[in-house]
Amino acid sequence: MPSELEKLKNGDWYYFLDDEVAARKARSAQLCQEFNALPATDPAAQTAKIRDLFGAAGKRLSVQAPFHCDYGKNIHVGDDFLSNYNLTILDIAPVTMGNHVMIGPNVGLYTVNHPMTAQGRRDYMAQALPITIGNDVWLGGNVVVLPGVTIGNNVVVAAGAVVTKDVRNNTLVAGVPAKPIRSLSAQ
């Protein structure tokens, strides 16, 4: 019988109060608290702490406090990653972002979902699906990206959008749920 952590990693329903699952979150909670306590006037210390928290990060990394995540090691960002204040990444499943990604304030990337049944929620069940974000992407302020979504390259997600489905390359999306507004130039 697979453990709850194995179920989580396989994208199956798992018991989210499991001790192994909770232990992963405890480490990230501590590192997020340490990061958020660092002075904004010490970007080198902030960058070092985020690099310790993330699974991988490329060159030129800037994350503004406060920042929150569930695990940290499932977050992989490319070169020139920039996020504004109050980014929350529920990285129960992997969150992978390419190069030149900019994230506005109050954005949420959520890989975790809960059952649509009352009993499933009472049983503390969850399911995690990865989020993938391509190169040259800008997520405007207050954007939410839901579990299992892939956002292509050269995409702009307008402020306040809720991305529930995959987004093709070279697209501007907006709204709740986010819908394509127009194509973007690849230049």
The residues that are catalytic are: 114
Locus of tokens 């994208």: 11
Tell me the Ramachandran region of residue 174: left when phi exceeds 0, alpha when psi lies from -120 to 50, beta otherwise.
beta
Phi, psi torsion values for 122, nearest 5 degrees: -65, -30
